[in-house]
């Protein structure tokens, strides 16, 4: 259940994403993210595939539906109010267009680096 809320929070933070983007930001495995996207399909819409320039399958790009944003924010906010969380918040960019890599980098700098046990790992 916690993986679901982490993934939904990452969806809210990113707005547009691939499975890999959500997995990195939420810390949830890609197979679990795919399951959550399938089960919570009412929140998202498919934008198309993202070319990689390599042979094989192309990752699908998704977008959080505009009508689902407030519902999702309310659900996650209520869980935080009850002491379950915190979950990732929405992007503070006025246009909501922060690149997923920037959001993931912020997560690494604010959460993972301080938790590293020694200087070499932090570097």
- Tens digits of residue pLDDT in 3-39: 888 898 889 888 899 999 999 988 899 999 999 999 9
CB-CB contact of 120 with 108 (8 Å): no
Domain ranges of the chain: 2-50+57-122
Q: What is the pLDDT of residues 73-114, one digit of tens each?
A: 888 888 777 777 666 554 344 445 555 666 666 666 666 667
pTM above 0.75, yes or no: no
Q: Which CATH number fits domain 2-50+57-122: 1.10.260.40, 3.40.50.300, 1.10.10.10, 3.30.390.30?
A: 1.10.10.10
């Amino acid at each position: 259940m916690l993986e679901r809320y982490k993934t939904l929070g990452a969806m809210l933070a990113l707005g547009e994403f691939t499975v890999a983007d959500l997995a990195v930001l939420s810390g949830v495995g890609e197979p679990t993210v795919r399951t959550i996207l399938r089960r919570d399909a009412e929140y998202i819409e498919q934008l198309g595939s993202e070319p990689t320039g390599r042979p094989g399958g192309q990752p699908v790009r998704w977008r959080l539906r505009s009508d689902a944003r407030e519902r999702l924010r309310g659900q996650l906010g209520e869980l935080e109010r009850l002491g379950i969380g915190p979950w990732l918040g929405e992007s503070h960019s006025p246009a909501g267009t922060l690149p997923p890599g920037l959001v993931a980098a912020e997560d690494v700098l604010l959460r993972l680096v301080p938790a590293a046990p020694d200087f070499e790992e932090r570097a």
